Structure 1
Amino acid sequence: MRDAKTLFDRLGGKDSIEAVVTEFYHRMLADESVAHHFEDTDIAAQRAHQTQFLSAVAGGPVEYSGSDMETAHKGMGITDAEFDATADHLDAALREFDVPKKERTDVLAAVASYREDIVEADSTDN
């Protein structure tokens, strides 16, 4: 028996993460400031991919098979403001499912660690 649960376990596993991801994309697509990044995206596939990514970074028994973050976001021109809006939507989705503050903080810190790989454009470049 393990002493310490992984973040994946503390979040409730794949089904819970999948529910949060579904809520997250509902919020992202409703936000005009970031929705344009998904105009030509298969959202069902994107949700599955994001569930896999979050499960992997949360220490779940999942191997992330997608591109590295820099490659996956190259050319999208994502700004710091858009990254922050995305993080806010993720936090709101986590809150929607009553995820405790410690786990929300851990998820957001894991995502924030990819900021340099994702953000390409200064917010004033728009």
Structure 2
Amino acid sequence: MSEQTLYERLGGEESIEAVVDRFYGYVMDDDLVNGYFEDTDMQKQIAHQTQFISSVTGGPVEYSGEDMYAAHEGMGISEEEFNAIAKHLNTALKEFDVPESDREDVLDEIASYEDDIVGA
């Protein structure tokens, strides 16, 4: 029997979408980072982020968006803002009872893109 992927342990795309939806609720309530999403179609953003997280956690989903540097170039995202986003993601994952080890795995995946996002 093969070991489950992180995507499977998270409950698949539907569960990831629920987490992402909650995550963006926290993001939009945070004045430090919500300005980045003022003119954003949040339904499209939620779908896009769900696709990204599904892809990087080993799901059967091909991420079709821009690479992380290109997507964030010129935004001037600080390390503090990046960490705030990660904190909101962790909080959303906790609310859905994702075990700590799986939360850490998700955050490690996201952290691997920090150099492409912060200061891009």
Matches within 5 A, 1:6-45: 6-45=5-44
Unpaired segments of 5 or more residues in structure 2? Answer: none
1:50 CA drift (Å): 0.1
**Aligned mates of 2:92, 2:76 — CA distance in 1:** 24
1:47-88 deviations in whole A, cap 9, x for unaligned? 000000000000000000000000000111100000000000
Structure 1: runs of 5+ lacking an equivalent: 122-126
Specify the alignment match of 1:124 in structure 2: none
Matched pairs, number: 120
Deviation at 1:3, TM superposition (A): 1.2
Q: How well do the aligned residues superpose, as a CA RMSD in angstroms?
A: 0.8
| Corresponding residue for residue 81 of structure 1 | 80
What is the alpha-carbon distance in structure 1 between the residues aligned to residue 104 and residue 111 of structure 2? 10
1:64 aligns to 2:63 (yes or no)? yes
- Give the share of equivalent positions with the same residue, in percent: 58
Q: TM-score, normalised by structure 2?
A: 0.98
d(CA) in 2 for partners of 1:6 and 1:97?
18
One-letter code aligned to 2:69: E
> What amino acid sits opposite 2:102 in the alignment?
E
Aligned counterpart, 2:48: 49
